Amino acid sequence: MLDAPAHHESGVRRSAKVRRSALLWPAVVLFVGLLTVGVVVGLLRQAVQEAEQARFEALVRGVEARISRQVDAHLSLIYSVAGFVATMPQPVTRASYASFIRQLDVADRFQGVQGIGFARRLEGPTLDEAERTYRAIHGPEFKVWPRVGQPEAFPIVLLEPMDHRNQVALGYDMYTEPTRREAMARARNSLVPALSGIVELVQEIDADKQPGFLIYLPVYAEGASLDDLEARREALMGFAYAPFRARNFFEAAVRDLAPRVSIRVYDGTVAPERLLFSSARSGNPEDADAAFTAVRPLEVAGRTWIVEHRTAPGYSSQSSGGFLLVPVAGLGVMLVLALSFLTYQQALARTAAERQARAMRQADREKTLLLQEMKHRIKNAIARVQAVARQTVREAEDLQDFTARFEARLASMSATHDLLTRTRWEGAELEDLLRSELSAVQHEGSSSLHGPSVFLTGREVMALALTVHELATNCVKYGSLSHPGGRLDVRWSVEPHGSQDCIAIEWRETGRSPILPGERIGFGSRLIEATIVRELNGSFHRDFCHGGVICRIRFPREAEAPAKAL
């Protein structure tokens, strides 16, 4: 008999294996393809980042070049002033100096500078006389300040343009302030321009104060010897200088680069107190999101500025390289998915052909097995029919009696076959078997069935069906159901017996006069003995009692009885 559940389970396993096989190569193609796309996109991303880094480095160099050009331009202006002062009769008048500065077009050509001036060297004892001299030039309000008893002073005596800020700086002795004094001494000793540290210019007269710095260039008497430090001090006339408000200076230098880069300029070291200029306002989030940063030293007139460069929000918007990553990645993924799909379709076609070949081989095996099963069952059925026919002939009184008995037994066998066909010959419930055999002989209320669910194998069903048929036939003809008021009760149970369970059936007939032993011994008894004792290796006992009979059937349950089919 075909094992349908096992066959179905085997088919499920084969289908799962086919699906796994069909998915294996597409999965490999998908994995390798996506990995390749990832590598390509990663390399492209790295190339874009390197290009952006190079572009940022070029931008940094551009910022440094602009600052350097801005400084150089103002140095040339300071050199011009130094040459003018050195060649003019002393003291230089305000009018001649203002005319000279206008010719240089300082306001338009030299942006970011607060002014351009000259600080005259004066001996301490001559300060009062010098004040009187310069009051004649600048007015009665001119004075040298502050007065701290200094042996020499360097007050500002010339400064243009003479706006309201520069007006307050006239007469200021810059040598009294340590930061300015250090730069002035360095310029005097080195003969070259010197940049000061961070100062607050005396021109900062309102709330909008900015850090400041100055550049000094020493001016010596024409033709004087400058071979040693003492000679330079003696020949020093003063300093041409330029004061700068830091924000004005740096914004003029890098104004058009501000959307792409922000800078911070520190004097000497990177520290909050050394911050000279920041293009980013306080709390601006652009600092935290900078794509690139660079910190570079910049040498300016003997002093070092530390310039910190960061990309500004406008930097990314001017870069198109990064936008290539999305379409390249998308196109790569689409190509990989298409290739994986084609591989999947090819794998499905191959596995479908293999599955069809296996199905044909399996169908051939199943056909052979089915033919063998049919042959076996037909032989068994014919043998059983022959046995029933022989026994019926022996006990039949005439042809009509033979026909009736034989047809009844064949009908019982047919009903049993129908019952087994419902489960593909796997077996049947014991209760269903009993109800099938008793349905034609009982009347309402005349019988009862009690017992647990017991599933019988096909062999057990065929053997037990003939036994129940004979018992039911005898019960109707001679037993309790042959008289009104008679009753049939059938009970069964499963009892343990060593390592194997046994099925116990009790057939109890009540409601008629006693039956003596041997009264009903015939074909039925011989058939029961043949099926229960010989075929099922069981036992059959009949007990006669007052008002009825009790039949007890007991046989071992098959060890591998299949579960009830759904």
| Per-chain mean pLDDT for the chain | 82
Strands 447-450 and 455-457: unpaired
Helix runs in 262-324, H state only: 313-317
Fold of 396-556: Heat Shock Protein 90 (3.30.565)
CA distance 42 to 50: 12
Burial class (CB within 10 angstroms; exposed 0-12, middle 13-18, buried 19+) of 12: exposed
Q: What is the pLDDT of residue 535?
A: 83
Residues 6+ apart with CB under 8 A from 496: 502
Distance of CA 423 to the CA centre of its chain: 52
- Rounded to 5°, the CA angle 74-80-83 comes to 145
Q: Could you state, in chain order, the average pLDDT of each consecutive group of 10 residues for the chain (566 residues)? A: 53 63 78 87 82 88 93 95 93 93 84 92 90 90 90 95 92 96 96 96 92 96 88 94 95 84 94 92 57 92 95 67 74 86 83 83 76 61 62 68 70 64 72 80 72 86 82 80 82 86 90 55 66 85 84 83 46
Given a contact cutoff of 8 angstroms between Cβ atoms, the answer to whether 455 and 428 are in contact is yes
Given a contact cutoff of 8 angstroms between Cβ atoms, the answer to whether 106 and 77 are in contact is yes
CA distance 412 to 157: 141
Given a contact cutoff of 8 angstroms between Cβ atoms, the answer to whether 500 and 507 are in contact is no
**Alpha carbon distances (Å) from 353 to 17, 350, 358:** 14, 5, 9
Single out the residue of 236, 30, 37 nearest to residue 121, CA to CA.
Answer: 236
**Alpha carbon distances (Å) from 258 to 19, 255, 447, 464, 525:** 61, 5, 106, 103, 116
Strands of 347-458 (E only): list them.
Answer: 427-429, 447-450, 455-457
pLDDT in tens, 202-226: 999 988 899 999 999 999 998 888 8
Single out the residue of 133, 124, 171, 125 nearest to residue 152, CA to CA.
Answer: 124
Element (H, E) at 482: none
CA distance 72 to 151: 33
The class level of CATH for 88-252 reads: alpha beta
Distance of CA 554 to the CA centre of its chain: 68
Is 0.85 topped by the overall pTM?
no
User: Could you state, in order of their start, the residue ranges of all structural domains in the chain?
Assistant: 10-87+320-367, 88-252, 258-317, 396-556
Helix (H, G, I), strand (E, B) or coil at 199: strand
Q: What is the pLDDT of residue 566?
A: 40
Domain 88-252 and domain 396-556 have a common topology? no
Residues 6+ apart with CB under 8 A from 565: 423, 424, 426, 427
Given a contact cutoff of 8 angstroms between Cβ atoms, the answer to whether 450 and 490 are in contact is yes
Given a contact cutoff of 8 angstroms between Cβ atoms, the answer to whether 253 and 66 are in contact is yes
Single out the residue of 493, 446, 442 nearest to residue 468, CA to CA.
Answer: 442
Helix runs in 152-305, H state only: 164-167, 178-190, 229-235, 246-254
pLDDT in tens, 27-65: 888 889 888 988 888 888 888 788 888 888 998 999 999
Given a contact cutoff of 8 angstroms between Cβ atoms, the answer to whether 296 and 64 are in contact is yes
